[in-house]
Amino acid sequence: MSTPIDISEAAGVRYLHFGSDWIQGAMRIRKPNALELAYTREMMAGLLLRDGLAEDAGQWPKKVLIIGLGAASLAKFAYHHRPQARIRVVEIAPSVVAAARQFFKLPPEDARFSVHLGCGAQYVLEKDQAFDYILVDGYDRNARAGALDTLPFYQAVRARLSAQGLMAVNLFGRSKGYKASVERIITAFDGRAIAFPSCDSGNVVAFAAAGEAIERPIAELRERAQALKSATGLDLRPTVARLEEAGNLPGGRLLL
């Protein structure tokens, strides 16, 4: 698939575009492994929900699947801050991979990091592998997700999740129809899904769980967000505050 690539820079940040003004990824040049865009930070909130902190035994996740490479933000964060994890990225456009290598410091492939060229939906449907964390962020130049926003795809993702499995989906570009996307996710996961309140960019990140139940009191989420910031620089305290303000935590607990 031919994807037109444009690179721009402003105020110390390098941006990826797919032949339009839409921002498809970003990297602060002096902090190449940080998550520059708010929605990418939010997609890593699984570290608050599962046992993903330094003090947690085993330090989740061990196997990560990222669908949609973009500027490699999620891939780089996972690679540098979760050295125990094996990470597979699936990207349909060779030009995106080339741009990530040239402009966005994509890590070299090694025993724990690899890039697969192909369709993310097809990969999930055909590969019989289990992952702890599946992050879905695949769009074309018109911000369309295509097969990555269908009930069969979400059902296939659920079947690929481990007993500690969690899916995060960026619903950017579907502001008018994101509720239909959330309904598909809820259906696929038998109700074990939550859409976080939209962040400043208008992105809505949805999470869905398989396997072991998740129950985190809001006070614990705040503590875990502080510990995560201290360990990695990733600040999810605003995310926790928005969850609390939105009033969608029954009994002051996040249940998933």
For tokens 């050295």, what's the residue?
A: 83
For tokens 């499995």, what's the residue?
A: 165
State the pLDDT at residue 59: 84
State the pLDDT at residue 175: 58
pLDDT surpasses 70 at 238: yes
121 phi and psi angles, rounded to 5 deg: -65, -45
On average, the pLDDT of the chain sits at: 91
Q: Which helix (H) or strand (E) holds 66?
A: strand 63-67
Catalytic residue among 56, 137, 149, 190: 137
State the SS3 of 230-253: HHHCCCCHHHHHHHHHHCCCHHHE
Task: Name every residue whose Cβ is closer than 8 Å to that of residue 206 and which is 6 or more positions away in sequence.
Answer: 168, 169, 171, 181, 182, 185, 193, 194, 195, 196
Which of 5-9, 53-57, 92-96, 193-197 comes out lowest in average pLDDT? 53-57
Listing DSSP states for 24-46 in one string gives -EEEETTBTTS--SHHHHHHTTH
- DSSP code of residue 226: H
State the pLDDT at residue 3: 79
- Domain limits, the chain: 6-211
Determine the 3-state secondary structure of 87 from DSSP. strand
- pLDDT, one tens digit per residue, over 71-112 is 999 999 999 999 999 999 999 999 999 999 999 999 999 999
Second-level CATH architecture of 6-211: 3-Layer(aba) Sandwich (3.40)
Give residue 197's pLDDT band: very low, low, confident or very high (50, 70, 90): confident
Are residues 93 and 19 in contact, defined by beta-carbon separation less than 8 angstroms?
A: no
Cα dihedral: 83, 85, 86, 90 (round 10): -100
For tokens 């608050």, what's the residue?
A: 48
Give residue 57's pLDDT band: very low, low, confident or very high (50, 70, 90): low
Amino acid identity of 12? G
Q: How many Å from the N-terminal Cα to the C-terminal Cα in the chain?
A: 37
Are residues 14 and 59 in contact, defined by beta-carbon separation less than 8 angstroms?
A: no
Catalytic, 140? Answer: no
pLDDT surpasses 80 at 248: no
